[in-house]
A and B are shown apart, each in its own frame.
Chain A
Amino acid sequence: MAPTSSRTRHPGHVVTAIVICRDGAKRLPKTLDALALQVRRVDRVVAVDLGSSDRSVAVATERLGAAHVAKVDAGAGIGTAIAAGLELVSRRPDRRRHDDAPVEWLWLLHDDSAPEPDALDELLLRVVHSPSVWLAGPKVLDWSGAVLVQAGLAIDAAGHIETGIDRREPDQGQRDDVDEVLAVGVAGSLIRRDVWDALGGMDPQLADYGAEVDLGWRVNASGGRVVVVSRAVLRHAGEECVGDRPGGPALRAMAIERRNGMRVVLANTAGWLVPLLLVRYLLVGVLHSLALVVLSRRPREAAAELRAVGVVLATPGAIVAARRSRAVAREVGYGDLRRLFPPSGRWMSNVMAARAHSGTAPDAPLARRRVAVESGPVSEEVESLADEISAVGEFLRRPAALLVIVMGLLAVIADRHLLSGTVHGGRLLPVPAGASDLWSSYFNAWHPSNVGSTAPTSPSIALVALLATILLGKAWLAVDIIVLGAVPLAALSAYTSLRLLTTAVRIRIWVSVVYALLPAVTGAISSGRLDVIVAAIVLPRVVRSIAIAWQRDSVAPLQGRVLRAGLWLAVAAAFAPLLWALVALVCGAVLGAERSSAADAMPDRLRATAGVLVIPLIVLMPWTWHVVAHPSLLFSGSGLPEFYGSHSPPSGILLALLHAGGPGQPPFWVGIPIVGALVFGLQRDSRVAVARIGAAVFVLGLAIAIIETRGASVTTGFPTTRHWPGLALLVAGAGALVTAVVAAVGARPALRDRSFGWRQPAVVAVVGLAVVATGTLVVGWVSGGVDKPLRGGDAAVLPLYVQAELALPTSSRALVLGGDAHLVHFALVRTPHGPLLGSGDAAPSGRMSDRANARLADAVQDLVAGRAGAGAELVPFGIDYLVAPQSTARRIASQLGRASTLTVIPVPSATVWHSSLATGELTVLSGAAATVASEGSVPQTAPVQVLNAGSGSSTARVPSATTSRLLVLAEPADSRWRATLAGQSLRRATAYGWAQAFVLPPRAGTVHVSFDSSGRHWWLIAELVGLVGVLLVGAGAAPHGHRRGAP
Chain B
Amino acid sequence: MRRDAPILAGLVGVAVLLSFFTGSTAARRVTKPAGTAPVVARTLVCPVVNGLPRHTASTATVSDVGPALPTPPHGAGTVTSTVLAGAKSVTSTVRVRPWAAVHSRGLQSEAVAFSVNGTLAASLAADEVIETTAGRYRGLAGGPCSAPATDWWFAGGNGKLGFTDRLILANAASTDAEVAVTLWTPSGPDAAPRLAAIRVPARSRASIGILAVAPDIATVAMHVHADSGAITAAVVDRRSTGLQSDGGDLVPPTLPPSRHLVINGFPAGPGTRGLVVTNPGSADATVSVKVVTPSGEFTPSSLQQFVVGAGKTATADVTKALSNHAGAVILSSDHPVIGAGEAIVVPGGRRLRPDLEWLAATKPITTPTAAAVGHEPDGGRCYLVLSAPDGAGEVSVTTPSGRKTTISVPAGHAVTADITSTVKSGSGPWSFVVSAVGSAPVYAVRELEFDGAHGTMITAEPMTPLPQPIPLPAVRQDPRLAAR
A604 to chain B, nearest CB (A): 27
Residues of B within 8 Å of A868, CB to CB, are 40-43
Other-chain contact of B479, A640, A645, A796, A824 (Cβ < 8 Å)? A640
Mask of B192-236 contacts with A, CB within 8 angstroms, 1/0: 000000000000000000000000000000000011111000000
Q: Nearest residue in A to B470 (C-beta to C-beta)?
A: A865
Q: A649-B23, A716-B31 are in contact. Are A702 and B482 (CB under 8 A)?
A: no
Q: Nearest residue in B to A894 (C-beta to C-beta)?
A: B150
Q: Nearest residue in B to A653 (C-beta to C-beta)?
A: B16
Other-chain contact of B149, A692, A702, A865, A894 (Cβ < 8 Å)? A894
A903 B26 Cβ-Cβ under 8 A: no
Q: Nearest residue in A to B27 (C-beta to C-beta)?
A: A719
Q: Nearest residue in A to B9 (C-beta to C-beta)?
A: A679
Query: Cα distance A656–B19 when bound, in Å?
Result: 11
B226 A897 Cβ-Cβ under 8 A: yes
Q: Nearest residue in B to A710 (C-beta to C-beta)?
A: B23
Query: Cα distance A1005–B1 when bound, in Å?
Result: 86
Say if the beta carbon of B378 comes within 8 Å of chain A.
no
Query: Cα distance A47–B32 when bound, in Å?
Result: 103
Other-chain contact of B178, A825, A835, A904 (Cβ < 8 Å)? A904
B15 A691 Cβ-Cβ under 8 A: no
Q: Nearest residue in A to B231 (C-beta to C-beta)?
A: A897
Say if the beta carbon of B351 comes within 8 Å of chain A.
no
Say if the beta carbon of A450 comes within 8 Å of chain B.
yes
Query: Cα distance A709–B151 when bound, in Å?
Result: 48
Query: Cα distance A791–B483 when bound, in Å?
Result: 12
Residues of B within 8 Å of A720, CB to CB, are 26
B475 A861 Cβ-Cβ under 8 A: yes
A879 to chain B, nearest CB (A): 13
Mask of B385-411 contacts with A, CB within 8 angstroms, 1/0: 000000000000000000000000000
Q: Nearest residue in B to A829 (C-beta to C-beta)?
A: B482
A904 B227 Cβ-Cβ under 8 A: yes
B73 to chain A, nearest CB (A): 18
Interface size bracket, B side: 35 or more
Give the segment of A212-220, A763-771, A849-857 that binds chain B: A849-857
Say if the beta carbon of A869 comes within 8 Å of chain B.
yes
A645 B24 Cβ-Cβ under 8 A: no
A699 B11 Cβ-Cβ under 8 A: yes
A683 B29 Cβ-Cβ under 8 A: no
Say if the beta carbon of A411 comes within 8 Å of chain B.
no
Q: A652-B18, A894-B149 are in contact. Are A713 and B29 (CB under 8 A)?
A: yes
Say if the beta carbon of B87 comes within 8 Å of chain A.
no
Mask of B247-278 contacts with A, CB within 8 angstroms, 1/0: 00000000000000000000000000000000
Mask of B23-45 contacts with A, CB within 8 angstroms, 1/0: 11111111110100100111100
Residues of A within 8 Å of B29, CB to CB, are 713, 716-717, 719
Say if the beta carbon of B71 comes within 8 Å of chain A.
no
B168 to chain A, nearest CB (A): 19
Say if the beta carbon of A619 comes within 8 Å of chain B.
no
A840 B483 Cβ-Cβ under 8 A: yes
B476 A424 Cβ-Cβ under 8 A: no
Say if the beta carbon of B173 comes within 8 Å of chain A.
yes
Say if the beta carbon of A821 comes within 8 Å of chain B.
yes
Say if the beta carbon of B74 comes within 8 Å of chain A.
no
Query: Cα distance A655–B37 when bound, in Å?
Result: 46
B175 A827 Cβ-Cβ under 8 A: no
Say if the beta carbon of B12 comes within 8 Å of chain A.
yes
Residues of B within 8 Å of A646, CB to CB, are 26
B151 A719 Cβ-Cβ under 8 A: no
Other-chain contact of A699, B5, B12, B41, B478 (Cβ < 8 Å)? B12
B4 A861 Cβ-Cβ under 8 A: no
A residues 682-708 in Cβ contact with B at 8 Å: 682-683, 688, 691-692, 695, 698-699, 702-703, 706
Residues of B within 8 Å of A902, CB to CB, are 175, 228-229
Other-chain contact of A823, B22, B27, B37, B475 (Cβ < 8 Å)? B475
Say if the beta carbon of B473 comes within 8 Å of chain A.
yes
B483 A822 Cβ-Cβ under 8 A: no
Q: Nearest residue in B to A888 (C-beta to C-beta)?
A: B481
A900 B173 Cβ-Cβ under 8 A: yes
B475 A860 Cβ-Cβ under 8 A: yes
Mask of A817-831 contacts with B, CB within 8 angstroms, 1/0: 110011111111100
B residues 399-434 in Cβ contact with A at 8 Å: none
Mask of A439-457 contacts with B, CB within 8 angstroms, 1/0: 0000000000010000000
Residues of B within 8 Å of A835, CB to CB, are 479, 482-483
Other-chain contact of A652, B2, B15, B25 (Cβ < 8 Å)? B15
Say if the beta carbon of A648 comes within 8 Å of chain B.
yes
Say if the beta carbon of A920 comes within 8 Å of chain B.
no
Q: A695-B4, A904-B178 are in contact. Are A827 and B25 (CB under 8 A)?
A: no
Say if the beta carbon of A867 comes within 8 Å of chain B.
yes
Say if the beta carbon of B108 comes within 8 Å of chain A.
no
A813 to chain B, nearest CB (A): 10
Say if the beta carbon of B484 comes within 8 Å of chain A.
yes
A652 to chain B, nearest CB (A): 3
Mask of A625-659 contacts with B, CB within 8 angstroms, 1/0: 00000000000000011010111110111011000
B37 A717 Cβ-Cβ under 8 A: no
Say if the beta carbon of A430 comes within 8 Å of chain B.
yes
Residues of B within 8 Å of A652, CB to CB, are 15-20
Q: Nearest residue in A to B17 (C-beta to C-beta)?
A: A652
Q: Nearest residue in B to A451 (C-beta to C-beta)?
A: B477
Query: Cα distance A425–B173 when bound, in Å?
Result: 41
Say if the beta carbon of B243 comes within 8 Å of chain A.
no
A901 B174 Cβ-Cβ under 8 A: yes
Query: Cα distance A683–B6 when bound, in Å?
Result: 10
A824 B474 Cβ-Cβ under 8 A: yes
Mask of A869-908 contacts with B, CB within 8 angstroms, 1/0: 1000000000000000000000001100110111110100
Query: Cα distance A904–B228 when bound, in Å?
Result: 5
B residues 446-484 in Cβ contact with A at 8 Å: 470-484
B482 A825 Cβ-Cβ under 8 A: no
A827 to chain B, nearest CB (A): 4
A residues 1000-1016 in Cβ contact with B at 8 Å: none
Query: Cα distance A826–B482 when bound, in Å?
Result: 8
Q: A640-B479, A683-B1, A719-B27 are in contact. Are A649 and B150 (CB under 8 A)?
A: no
A651 B20 Cβ-Cβ under 8 A: yes
B32 A903 Cβ-Cβ under 8 A: no
Say if the beta carbon of A795 comes within 8 Å of chain B.
yes
Q: A647-B26, A904-B228 are in contact. Are A656 and B477 (CB under 8 A)?
A: no
Say if the beta carbon of A53 comes within 8 Å of chain B.
no
B15 A712 Cβ-Cβ under 8 A: no
A869 B479 Cβ-Cβ under 8 A: no
Q: Which of B27, B32, B34 has most A Cβ within 10 Å?
A: B32
Q: Nearest residue in A to B174 (C-beta to C-beta)?
A: A900
Mask of A781-802 contacts with B, CB within 8 angstroms, 1/0: 0000000000100111100000
A717 B25 Cβ-Cβ under 8 A: no
Other-chain contact of B475, A424, A645, A857, A903 (Cβ < 8 Å)? A857
A901 B8 Cβ-Cβ under 8 A: no
Say if the beta carbon of B441 comes within 8 Å of chain A.
no
A369 to chain B, nearest CB (A): 45
Query: Cα distance A703–B474 when bound, in Å?
Result: 36
A258 to chain B, nearest CB (A): 49
Other-chain contact of B481, A712, A719, A818, A858 (Cβ < 8 Å)? A818
Query: Cα distance A827–B25 when bound, in Å?
Result: 26
In the A-B complex, the 9 residue pairs with the closest CB atoms: A652-B19, A649-B23, A900-B173, A717-B476, A652-B16, A868-B41, A827-B481, A682-B4, A904-B228
Given A826-B475, A860-B475, 8 new contacts (CB under 8 A): A424-B484, A641-B479, A651-B19, A679-B9, A712-B24, A713-B29, A827-B477, A897-B229
Interface residues of B (CB under 8 A from A): 1-2, 4-5, 8-9, 11-12, 15-20, 22-32, 34, 37, 40-43, 148-151, 172-176, 178, 226-230, 470-484
Jot down 9 A-B pairs with beta carbons below 8 A, ordered by A.
A641-B480, A698-B8, A709-B23, A711-B24, A823-B474, A840-B482, A857-B476, A860-B475, A900-B230
